[in-house]
Amino acid sequence: MMPTDTKTTPPIQLPVRGGPFERAGEDAFRALEGVSAATASAHLHGMGISRTFINGPASIAPGTRVVGSALTLQFMPVREDIGSGEGQEYAERTTALWAVMETVQPGDVLVVQAWGSPFTGCFGDMLVRYFRRKGGAGIVVDGRIRDAPRVRQLGVPIWCTGFTPHYASQTELFPWAYDVPVAAGGVLCLPGDVVIADDDGAVVVPASKTSELTALSREHEEWEVFSRMRIDEGGRLSDYYPLNDRTRAEYERWRHDESAAAIGRD
């Protein structure tokens, strides 16, 4: 005879939490502060890391920029025997979505795997408000958020694929895990990686590559300043972007003169 009580214990304990990780420090953030997402992506490609751009999310406030340490949140597809049922919106407070909010530290960029869903509002006014109060630097969502007017007023840098009226577990996804590797916009992001995001989008910098990227990017940004100046003065694009042997030597002389002048001003 089949049992009459069909209630069962879910086969997994939620929320799932990954292991401890090390956040990038303030020194890394300061060193990368002037590095654009485009420059980071280009240099990482040259370093052999080709998939760094989180495809899909765009800034909800053009002109916004953020550099921070990745904190991760993973949504998974709903299954009716797990994390579902009456009062589901209130049940969210026991999920990874609420749990990750309590771990936010100043400088964190929350990176969210939401499968590009147009029906899942991963965050709304209250959660973004709490994230800001905890010192979070920004949010990158491979999906949507809700409460558009209020969220925009909060001023938290956010990259997402758009807005929806739905709450986080209303339809097809459920907040499942945090502090775990996530796949956002086709890119692997590990807790503690560095995220650089601006109007070109969001780029994931592997934690082990931040020092090398900083050195390459600083030199790159400097010669681009020189190249812009020479192109504005009428120089040939093929001579100044990128630099050839002759214009590289010209750039080195210019940089030396600029450094000497700066010392003289001091």
Alpha carbon distance 252, 202 (integer Å): 32
Peptide bond into 242 cis (omega under 30): yes
The DSSP call for residue 72 is E
Distance between CA atoms of residues 178 and 134, nearest Å: 17
Whether the CA torsion 16, 126, 187, 189 is positive or negative: it is: negative
pLDDT of residue 85: 45
With left for phi above 0 and alpha for psi between -120 and 50, is residue 135 left, alpha or beta? left
Q: Grade residue 87 by pLDDT with cuts at 50, 70 and 90.
A: very low
- Alpha-carbon span 82 to 173, nearest angstrom: 11
Which 3 state secondary structure label does DSSP give 71? strand
- Tens digit of each residue's pLDDT (9 = 90 or more) over 211-266: 899 888 777 777 888 889 999 999 899 888 888 989 889 888 888 887 766 666 66
What is the rounded CA–CA span in Å between residue 217 and residue 40? 7
Q: How do the domains of the chain map onto residue ranges?
A: 16-207, 213-265
The pTM assigned to this predicted structure is: 0.83
Neighbours of 139 (CB within 10 A): 32
CATH 3.20.20.60 fits 16-207, yes or no: no
The three-state secondary structure class of 197 is strand
Residue 42 identity (one-letter amino acid): A
Confidence of residue 9 (pLDDT cuts 50, 70, 90): low
Q: What is the pLDDT of residues 145-202, one digit of tens each?
A: 999 999 999 999 999 999 999 988 888 899 999 999 999 999 999 999 999 999 999 9
pLDDT level of residue 25 (50, 70, 90 thresholds): confident
Beta strands in the chain (DSSP E): 16-17, 53-54, 58-59, 66-77, 108-113, 138-141, 144-145, 158-160, 162-163, 173-178, 182-184, 187-189, 194-198, 201-205
How many angstroms separate the CA atoms of 50 and 102, rounded? 33
Q: At what angle do helices 37-46 and 210-232 cross, to 10 degrees?
A: 120
Cis ω before 118 (30° cut-off from 0): no
